[in-house]
Structure 1
């Protein structure tokens, strides 16, 4: 009988151990499935958040472009100087004469621009914004026979060949700044 009891006790212990291992295995599987579900949920939330961030970045970019356009269309100042008015669709040509200007100064590269005095008064400072983004700040010191209306003749140090290559630039915006 003792042998039978030992076999029964050993069998019971084995069954209890197997159940315990099975339960622990079941708990481990359930925990793993819960972890996977939580990871999937976090991944989904991260993807939603990433999409929201991308949408916000697009919205911010659109607002920045709209604000830039609004500032270009309705400028109030350029580089700390008040804009008196601006001219769209202007043309820029280039010249290299070294003589006296209509305002009595000497034509100087980096400073002088010839203007039509009916459009821009002599002595006014202008900011010339080229279509490629280059900006030239010059003083209206000269006039010229070919400078009529929205034509601006910028003085630069260049040879006649270089001036010919530069040619005439269309679609320029010119800001006339307060003195």
Structure 2
């Protein structure tokens, strides 16, 4: 998943598959009201429980995005 932050037009997120099924399409809403659609395609190294990791282009982008509290709406669940 390191090669891209998008898949089929969706932002890629890492999730705990016990909470959000891999392949699920979700809407992520940031505290500032900005929303984007994402797809759960990765499990990440340290994702546990109700956390997600939004893939970014590079480390600087990740640092700028930082840790945030977000709201998640599951639009369609993926296949197990």
TM-score bracket, shorter-length normalisation = 0.7 to 0.9
Q: Is the 8 A contact 2:11 2:36 kept in 1?
A: no
Distance (Å, rounded) in 2 between the aligned partners of 1:114 and 1:120: 9
2:64 is equivalent to residue 173 of structure 1: no
Three-state SS of the structure 2 residue aligned to 1:156 is coil
Task: Compare relative contact order (CA 8 Å, sep 6+) and give the higher one, 1 or 2.
Answer: 2
Structure 1 segments, 4+ long, off by >6 Å, are: none
Distance (Å, rounded) in 2 between the aligned partners of 1:118 and 1:152: 12
From 52, 57, 62, the counterpart of 1:163? 62
From 25, 43, 50, the counterpart of 1:143? 43
Distance (Å, rounded) in 2 between the aligned partners of 1:165 and 1:138: 19
Residue 178 of structure 1 and its aligned partner are, at CA, apart by 2.5
Bigger CA radius of gyration: 1
Higher strand share: 2
Over the aligned positions, Cα root-mean-square deviation in angstroms equals 1.9
- Structure 1: segments with no counterpart, 5+ residues: 1-95, 99-106
Higher helix share: 1
Deviations 1:105-124 (A, max 9, x none): xx433431111000000011
**Structure 2 counterpart of 1:132:** 32
User: Is the alpha carbon distance of 1:165 and 1:178 closer, same or farther for their aligned partners in structure 2, counting shifts above 3 Å?
Assistant: closer
